[in-house]
Amino acid sequence: MLAGVLFSGTAAAADPFELDLTVGQDNKQFGFDNVDDAAEALDRDNLLREFPQYTETTTVLTQINFRGLNASLDFPQADTTLVFEIEGVELTPGSNSVSFQGQTRDDSIEQLKDFLKKNKFALKNLQTRSAQATPIDPLAGNPGSLMNQRMRGDFDRGFTHRVSQIWGCGCSAFDFSQPQPIMVAAADDMQGIFAEARARAAALRGENEVGIGLAGQSLRGTAANGTKYRSTQLQLPFSYTVKFDSDPRRKLSFELPLSYTDSEGAASYSAGFSVAYTHPVSDNWSLTPAAGIGATGSEDLGAGGGLASYSLTSSYTHRLGDWALSMGNSIGRYESVGIKIGDIEAEYDVQNTVFTNGLLVTGPTSLIARGIVMEYSFTDTRLTGTDLFSNRYDEVGIGLGFIKTDSGVITRYFKTGLSYLWGENDIKGVRLALNLRF
């Protein structure tokens, strides 16, 4: 029975939905990871199970922690009128509250649920405010959101993946006892930056590539009302790269990223599609424009929306012996778009211009084993436009890779990286990523 799940004791410290329920003179607290379950806590049968003295004329006052937003849901009088209010969210023009009056109190609750799903004005304002005030919104405002996944994907494809020696060390058989040239751009990625890279890259002319990745991250943050939330996320990026025979450093890549997020028991899903073109301006400088679209949704959180993006990333590398120092700069535009999920039209009001800058130091090492290449990175990301929960992120990371060569040319690699990130409102996170390209 639903009630057996709903009323299981005192609410956990960070449930997405927490209710402080006062029925008559009695008070109890409950926690939920699903918005419909939270609304049904005021269902007559559930109230009677926890408050045997309850009647249809008993006053019911409910303070709600609604995904980090302060809200209330009350039957303030001896009738069926239900009053819902969220702090800082305009539910109707000029008002933070809305009321419903059905034939019974249960009817009023159903009217509220329909309102939250179908009223475009209220839903848009609620979702936008969530992205501004909470660390678990699925579309924007935190490192696990769809927007941040796209920001990372655009920057990685135009910079990190392009200049990393893990993706293109030119060491022949990895004999570190002999001086060897380092190709900072990936020969396997057809992205040679230095002149010596072009000769090796030509050997792979016409061979397109498939990329598969797996990334996991753990995040935490403190909402505007002081609630601390944690979330874990799994990402599965798939890519396909087409190389140009006329110049293998030029490439057209397609990416299909998928993700699953658990935010204190509430599940969110996202998917996207993007395309990028890499053009070498010179031997050590390249530009990568990209465009994409994606969607995310969470039945548990009662949230969902779409995102359109376009960006331009520059990568420049300076060689330091067998090592290299690379600098990446990116500017991107990310805008929310409406999507339809069944009969629900979900939309945000989010438009941001994002600036990402990073440094990457790469080179060979034989400290662990022969055939391993290491990299060290720092990335700074700043958002302008719509004020979000976190408008700044910094990240430091270390990575290593195992490379397979064929006649001195890299044909396959496996890469792993670990990073730590932090941002505004106590945002902190750890990320582990694995990548395979063949």
pTM of the model: 0.86
Q: Is 224 exposed, middle or buried (0-12, 13-18, 19+ CB in 10 A)?
A: middle
Residues of the chain with CATH 2.40.128.130: 146-437
Q: Are 438 and 415 in contact (CB under 8 A)?
A: no
Flag residues of the chain having pLDDT under 50. Answer: 1-12, 167-197, 200-201, 203-205, 408-409
The residue assigned the tokens 């109190």 is 105
Residue 327, pLDDT score: 96
Which of 65, 78, 17 lies closest to 263 in space, CA to CA? 17
Residue 7, pLDDT score: 39
* 356 CB-near residues (< 8 Å, 6+ apart): 151, 155, 313, 328, 329, 330, 331, 332, 379, 380, 381, 382
Q: Are 84 and 91 in contact (CB under 8 A)?
A: yes
Residue 184, pLDDT score: 36
The HSE-up count of residue 386 (CA atoms within 13 Å, CB side) is 23
Q: Are 396 and 378 in contact (CB under 8 A)?
A: yes
Residue 412, pLDDT score: 67
* 308 CB-near residues (< 8 Å, 6+ apart): 292, 293, 334, 335, 337
Q: Which CATH class is domain 146-437?
A: mainly beta
Kindly report, residue by residue over 9-40, the tens digit of the pLDDT: 344 457 999 999 999 999 999 999 999 899 88
d(CA 199, CA 281): 17
DSSP code at position 310: E
Q: Are 433 and 401 in contact (CB under 8 A)?
A: no
Residue 194, pLDDT score: 45
Which of 375, 307, 379, 303 lies closest to 346 in space, CA to CA? 303
Residue 362, pLDDT score: 84
Residue 4, pLDDT score: 35
Kindly report, residue by residue over 242-300, the tens digit of the pLDDT: 988 777 778 899 999 999 999 999 999 999 999 999 999 988 899 999 999 999 999 99
